[in-house]
Amino acid sequence: MCGFFGIVYEQDKANLGSILVRAGKRLSYRGYDASGVVGIGSDCSFDLRKDKGRIEEVEERLHLSEVKGSRGIIQLRWATYGIPSKENAQPHYDCTKRVFSAHNGNILNTPELREKLINDNHTLQGENDGEVIPHLIEDGLAEGKSFTDAIMGCVRSLNGDYAFVATSLDEDGMWAVKKGSSLFLGIGKGSVCVSSDLTAILDNTREIVTLRDNELIHFTNSGFTIEDIETGEIVNRETRRIALSVEEIEKGSFEHFMLKEIYETPAKARSHLRLLKNNPSYEEAAKLISQAQRIFITGAGTSYHASLLGKYYCAEIAGVLLNNSFASEFSSLCSNILKQGDILIVVSQSGETKDVKNVLNEFRDKGGDKVIGMVNNIGSTIALHSDIVLPINSQLEVSVPATKTFTNQALSFLYLANKVAELKGRVSQEFDISFIEGMIQDSIEKGEKEVSRLLDKLTGQKEFYILGFGLTYPAALEASLKIKEVAYMHIEGMYSGEFKHGPLSIVEQGYPVIFITTAEDKHFVLSHINEVKTRNGFIITIAPLDEELSLASDIFIPLPVSNPYLVPISATIYAQILSYRMSVSLGINPDFPRNISKTITVD
């Protein structure tokens, strides 16, 4: 994913480096393979320091916070093109070491551009895709173009979804481009800054400007201009004030963002449920779904599991079938069958996941009709390209494993399914906000107590299965994903009815199998439990209080809910707490698990 931040002041700042490092730490969940800064003085001197490793490690080695100057850039890297190394770290520079840039996203035609640049006698330091940017700008300048026109020329050569910031020792201010990846502009008192993420801007100002794709921004310490890259027209845009609190972006008394965000879930669910009531976009979406012939739904990771739960809610409550697929699977499955009138629902908390953006673009190209985008980040690319935006109002989620956003995605689908049912004259559920909020609060308090009974049994286990049935199947998948993400254990989620058709062979004396079920489906699940029990498996059941299920289990974990539609939400909160406690007991930082990142902006 990567993330960058750039800022311009009027005069040299002795603490420019620490301002950049503070912003870098806000962006650290976007990439921790390499980190780097460049500070440029009003005397056109520059100080470039970068290396592989997380921001904290590189700061310790290279003292990035000691950099001085009147403008500076920091970049955090999540390796795609080129291994984690100093040469592939950013900011990058041109052959003259006068043009500097940093980017996030990915440039698809990098191999061709690199070959051309090398044939034109440019010296490239590494293999990273972003390194072509300062060299392409250098070419434009060598042709006598202005810096703006040189950037325009560079952008015309690039293919892909990206955003970048660039500056030069010979120019005032900085330039930035948004083309498919996130980018925000912040207007401070005496400074202007850009960043891939709002969190890095909020320490400097709350006045931000929303940027759109295909826009080029030039900014100095006192102002900015926005130019439409396609038309060349100057775009006027007002600033808007962000209400997000710094607390929102701090851990507070929690050791990790993951636990903080789990504990924020009841409050975020309450505020979301209040905003849902009579929300015009949810009404409009329900109307569209109730009248549509064919509806496709997709997402990635946790959002895919939320979309699958949405499918179950719509089928069971509204009698409407949603055709679901993984976002990365959509093209091979659906691209040849799309037609006029089809509806697409895309689910993405960040609104920037590349696999999901690909689906949206393909759906449009193939003549699909309306796109409904369920997002947490309403300023995101997916929100900007959707016909109807369904916000989930979880506020910022920093920890890589998604938690509070899953709950609000699930509640959004439950609300939507009920709305569609009403429009179709079917019986719909009473949406009692205080009851749901109480249930979520209970799930956290009782969850902490109950899952502690499982920690000794499960932590460090090489493997085990988590099985769900009907509504709880998506919860079983999400539970196994959480444990994979933050405890690095190979735990498989599966449909319990399928277990006897093969995987049952794995079961031996004491082999743990977790069953998640509603009381309504217990009859099926009881026979699945017996299939494992008779092979001496160790049965753990997570379900609403039930004598029969309790007797059939070695460990029975009661859920504080009765309504079957809320069981998957409560069970998933239990699994979030279990995976968190497992992760911490294994000495892992659950906020920044190895090898993955909060949002993947590459294919």
Q: Cite the active site residues.
A: 2, 598
Closer by beta carbon to ligand BG6, 349 or else 541: 349
Nearer to ligand BG6, 295 or 600 (CB): 600
Cβ neighbours around 603 below 10 Å, total:
12
Q: What is the Cα–Cα distance from 281 to 387, expressed in whole angstroms?
A: 10
**Are 513 and 492 contacting, i.e. CB atoms less than 8 angstroms apart?**
no
3-state secondary structure of 47: strand
Token look-up 């449909």 returns 495
What is the smallest separation between the CB atom of 346 and ligand BG6, expressed in angstroms? Answer: 9
- Residue nearest to ligand BG6 according to CB distances in the complex: 301
Closest separation in Å from C-beta 488 to ligand BG6: 14
Contacts of 149 (CB under 8 A, 6+ apart): 140
Nearer to ligand BG6, 400 or 582 (CB): 400
Cβ 272 vs Cβ 313: under 8 Å: no
- How far apart are CB 63 and ligand BG6 at their closest, in Å? 31
CB atoms within 10 A of CB 501: 8
Q: Tell me the two tokens of residue 511.
A: 């082999």
- Stated length of the chain: 603
Dmax over Cα atoms in the chain, in whole Å?
81
Phi, psi values for residue 374, rounded to 5°: -95, 110
- Minimal distance in Å, beta carbon 230 to ligand BG6? 27
Closest distance to ligand BG6 from the beta carbon of 8 (Å): 30
Q: Which residues contact 274 (CB under 8 A, 6 or more apart)?
A: 433
3, 200 in Cβ contact below 8 A? yes
d(CA 580, CA 427) in angstroms, rounded, equals 38
Nearer to ligand BG6, 258 or 566 (CB): 258
* Count of CB atoms situated within 10 Å of the CB of 147: 20
Residue 131 or 591: which CB sits closer to ligand BG6?
591
Q: Is the peptide bond before 91 cis (omega within 30 degrees of 0)?
A: yes
405 vs 496, beta carbon nearer ligand BG6: 405
Minimum distance from residue 571 beta carbon to ligand BG6 (Å): 18
**Cβ-based nearer residue to ligand BG6, 423 or 596:** 596
Token pair 């309450």: residue: 270
Q: Which of 360, 359, 567 is nearest to 478 (CA)?
A: 567
Q: Give the residue with the Cβ less far from ligand BG6, 402 or 567.
A: 402
Pick the closer one to ligand BG6 by CB: 221 or 302. 302
Task: Kindly state the smallest distance separating residue 598's Cβ from ligand BG6, in Å.
Answer: 6
d(CA 429, CA 258): 31
3 state DSSP class of 107: strand
Query: What are the residues binding ligand BG6 (CB under 6 A)?
Result: 300-303, 348-350, 353, 356, 400-402, 596-600
Q: Position 397: which residue type? A: E
Neighbours of 389 (CB within 10 A): 19
Query: Residue 81 or residue 147: which is nearer to ligand BG6 going by CB?
Result: 81
Q: Which residues have CB under 8 Å from 230's CB, separation 6+?
A: 214
CA distances from 211 to 217, 235, 351, 461, 482 (A): 9, 10, 15, 47, 33
Report how far residue 286's alpha carbon sits from residue 87's, in angstroms, rounded to the nearest whole number.
Answer: 51
DSSP, collapsed to helix, strand or coil, labels residue 346 as strand
Tell the smallest beta-carbon distance from residue 432 to ligand BG6 (Å). 28
Decide whether 409 or 553 has the Cβ nearer to ligand BG6.
409
Query: What is the Cβ-side half-sphere exposure of residue 294, based on CA atoms within 13 angstroms?
Result: 10
- Quick one: how far is CA 163 from the chain centroid? 17
> Which pair of tokens denotes residue 171?
């120019």
Q: How far is the CB of 399 from ligand BG6 (least distance, A)?
A: 9
Shortest reach from residue 94's CB to ligand BG6, in Å: 32
What 3-state class would DSSP assign to 424? coil
Residue 266: Cβ-neighbour burial (10 angstroms; 0-12, 13-18, 19+): buried
Q: How far is the CB of 203 from ligand BG6 (least distance, A)?
A: 23
C-alpha dist (Å) from residue 71 to 5, 39, 175, 498, 556: 11, 6, 12, 59, 59
